[in-house]
A and B are shown apart, each in its own frame.
Chain A
Amino acid sequence: MTLSPAPEVGAELDPLVHDTGFDTWNRYAAVNYEFVPIHMDDEAGRAAGMPGAFGMGNLQWSYLHVLLRTWLRDEGRIRSLRCDFRVPNTKGVVTARGTITDVSEADGTTLVTLDVWTENADGKKMAPGSAVVEIS
């Protein structure tokens, strides 16, 4: 295992902060083909019962991956990830966070389990989930 510092239960990953809005959502729509009115038009977002347009769950999903890869650098890989989309990403700051919940060895491989989530500017969890990564 080469990741430094070595992962320890309770350790927090460096948070990943994004200021989200049409500039981030439109860029993502262009690669994931999510040209959906609720992500591109405030009126469509309000018609769906939200305060306005809101971002893609898939982009939250990417932010969680980016969080893990930034922490891992080239010293490991993501084995599994899951999350629920509970609070919509309306315009504003989104922070991706992670906390190590378990470190184990299996067949000479170090596996690290983490709680991961995105949260809004009020600290409310938007996409809570968990991940397992393998350390090289």
Chain B
Amino acid sequence: MTDSNISEAMRDAVGIEIGRSTSYPVSENDIRRWAIATYWPDDPPARYVHAPSDGSPMVAPEEFNAMSTTWQSASSQTTATPIPKPPGLVFDPDTTEHQVGIEGPGLTNMLNGGMSVEYGVPIKAGDVITSISSLGEYSEREGRLGLMLFSSTVDTWTNQDDEVVKRSTTSLIRY
């Protein structure tokens, strides 16, 4: 039996808020670029390219990432004092734990395990989105590549009118 990668500190951290971020106002160009990339090599639908002629704001595709680092955030803060990314690492597999100020399992590989979302009101050009994320449950099981650690992040997005845009859960697999 392989030793568990889930520490006492990780178990104690389940459910706590990781942090919150607020976007800059979503721009039409953010929406256009997103649609071009996700419909490629097809052209995106006209509604994601041209603003509506009636003056109403352009509506983003449901999965549009308003918090993408590409467009930067207006503000972003972690709830706890985070542990800095180890020097020399392009991508830190322990980011989840480091964001809440605890040590992670130190595994080297990380994959997106799955996603689940419930959508509320659509994101429109001009919206300012706030994301509040928290740490979900941990579990483990043996896989083809050894003992796999499953963790999740729960995220709620609201717009400037406090309307819920989406509630999502993202699962992470590390090995």
A residues sitting closer than 8 Å to B (CB atoms) are 18-19, 23-24, 27-28, 30-33, 36-37, 48-49, 56-59, 61-63, 65-66, 69, 74, 77-85, 88, 127, 129
User: Would you list 27 pairs from A and B whose C-beta atoms are within 8 A, ordered by A residue?
Assistant: A18-B41, A19-B41, A27-B40, A30-B37, A31-B33, A31-B38, A31-B65, A32-B65, A33-B69, A33-B70, A36-B90, A37-B91, A48-B109, A49-B109, A61-B63, A62-B38, A62-B63, A65-B38, A66-B38, A66-B61, A78-B62, A79-B119, A81-B115, A82-B116, A84-B171, A127-B114, A129-B114
B63, B111, B113, B122: which contacts A77 (Cβ < 8 A)? Answer: B122
Within 8 A of A (CB), among B35-62: 36-41, 45, 47, 61-62
Is B39 a contact partner of A66 (Cβ separation < 8 A)? yes
Is B117 a contact partner of A31 (Cβ separation < 8 A)? no
Classify chain B's interface size: 20 to 34
Is A49 a contact partner of B117 (Cβ separation < 8 A)? no
Which residue of chain A has its CB nearest to the CB of B166? A80
B residues sitting closer than 8 Å to A (CB atoms) are 33-34, 36-41, 45, 47, 61-63, 65, 68-70, 90-91, 109, 111-119, 122, 145, 171
Is B117 a contact partner of A80 (Cβ separation < 8 A)? yes
Q: In whole Å, how far is A72's beta carbon from the nearest beta carbon of chain B?
A: 11
Q: How far is the CA of A40 from the CA of B123 in the complex (A)?
A: 30
Q: How far is the CA of A123 from the CA of B61 in the complex (A)?
A: 27
Is A27 a contact partner of B36 (Cβ separation < 8 A)? yes
